[in-house]
Amino acid sequence: MNSSLAAIFHEPSQPLELRNVAVPAPIGGEVLVRVLGCTLCGSDLHTVSGRRNSPAPSVLGHEIVGEIVELGASAPRHDLAGAELGVGDRVTWAIVASCGDCFYCQRELPQKCLHGVKYGHEQFVARRELTGGLAEYCLLAPGTALVKLPEELPLEVVCPANCATATVAAALAAAGPIAGRTVGILGAGMLGLTACAMAQLRGAAVVIAVEPNTERREQALRCGATHAIAPDELVATAAAASAGPGLDVVLELSGAAAAFETAWPVLCIGGTLVLVGAVFPGPPVAISLEQIVRRNLTLRGVHNYAPKDLLVAVEFLKQAHGRFPLQELVGPWYPLKEVAQAFAAARNPRHLRVGVRN
Ligand SMILES: [Zn+2]
Ligand SMILES: [Zn+2]
């Protein structure tokens, strides 16, 4: 049996332990993948800092691209788009493997599957330790939706697909029609910049990125935003850019309670606010119920995504790569042995996504 170097999370504020773990041969519907790269998502940083709870011991990292090493006897032979899958294919996969049968799977929420395996978030179980991206190998569970990656997409562009990009695809799907609409995007981190590009490609009339950091505002303009403003400019910009009524859609990607409180008043009648960023506990917020009713507003919460959103995400990256500088959003890269340096670099706000590759 081969072994795989893995960075193991034990508890917050403690260094990840680098040690070798046995690599199991895939059985049944499992697929063994060699990890080519894994980008550090905000939730990995929050886990390590203790801001959010995550099971331990575990291998963190879920924004993964890998290469198929071996398919179990009943593993899928086709990806989500129907393309044939085989050894050597470069793939990514949905963040949650789902059973297809439980209460939530039957309600089109496979990301909340009661029997789900969530990559980068699973406590060690014998033979199933390698479920995260911060290792040389990853064992995919039965029920994992895979997507074969087009050769033209470099690792830098495609690595965040199965969290950041697919979550933005799910958020825009929850927002309803985008073509010709006015869209506000709160927060220009990895998700916000991706959302600017996706809204622009879908034909939004106006894309307003709201972000305190001036460097990120400049990036937002390069990624498809028509306006990039500081938070205190939102009310005036939303009124001017919509010629009066307010914005059709606002995506809240920053997780800041204050951002929410500035966001819902700038929606037009019938507008939709999609909440994505608040994935850790925060203070309660004030909202007028009467305003939601009289202005026919819709509030949607979106956490993770379904496999169909991952397919949309990879298609988006194919179209957006070359048109927007998505490559510059990812980096620097570190070898797995230097995972501690990778986490340190990821805490620098200049780095939207730091990568670890083997
Ligand atoms: Zn993530
Ligand atoms: Zn299920």
Q: Each residue's pLDDT tens digit in the chain (358 positions)?
A: 699 999 999 999 899 999 999 999 999 999 999 999 999 999 999 999 998 889 999 999 999 999 999 999 999 999 999 999 999 999 999 999 999 999 999 999 999 999 999 999 999 999 999 999 999 999 999 999 999 999 999 999 999 999 999 999 999 999 999 999 999 999 999 999 999 999 999 999 999 999 999 999 999 999 999 999 999 999 999 999 999 999 999 999 999 998 888 899 999 999 999 999 998 888 889 889 999 999 999 999 999 999 999 999 999 999 999 999 999 999 999 999 999 999 999 999 999 999 999 8
Q: Which ligand is nearest to the CA of 114?
A: 2
Kindly list the structural domains of the chain, giving each domain's residue range(s) and its CATH number in brackets, ordered by start.
3-149+325-357 (3.90.180.10), 167-301 (3.40.50.720)
Give the residues across from 58 on adjacent strands: 9
- Report residue 84 CA to chain centroid gap: 25
Per-residue confidence (pLDDT) for residue 268, from 0 to 100? 98
- What are 10's two structure tokens? 């034990």
Per-residue confidence (pLDDT) for residue 341, from 0 to 100? 98
Ligand 2: distance of its center to the CA of 300 in Å? 22
Q: Which ligand is nearest to the CA of 102?
A: 2
Closest CA to 263 of 170, 184, 191: 184
What is the value of pTM for the model shown? 0.97
Ligand 2: distance of its center to the CA of 306 in Å? 12
SS3 sequence of 40-55: CCHHHHHHHHCCCCCC
Ligand 2: distance of its center to the CA of 330 in Å? 33
Cα 316 to Cα 279: distance, rounded to the nearest angstrom: 24
Ligand 1: distance of its center to the CA of 190 in Å? 10
Cα 355 to Cα 352: distance, rounded to the nearest angstrom: 10
SS3 sequence of 237-252: HHHHHCCCCCEEEEEE
Give ion ligand 2 contacts, CB < 5 A.
98-99, 102, 105, 113
Ligand 1: distance of its center to the CA of 14 in Å? 20
Ligand 2: distance of its center to the CA of 282 in Å? 29
Ligand 2: distance of its center to the CA of 101 in Å? 5
Per-residue confidence (pLDDT) for residue 53, from 0 to 100? 87
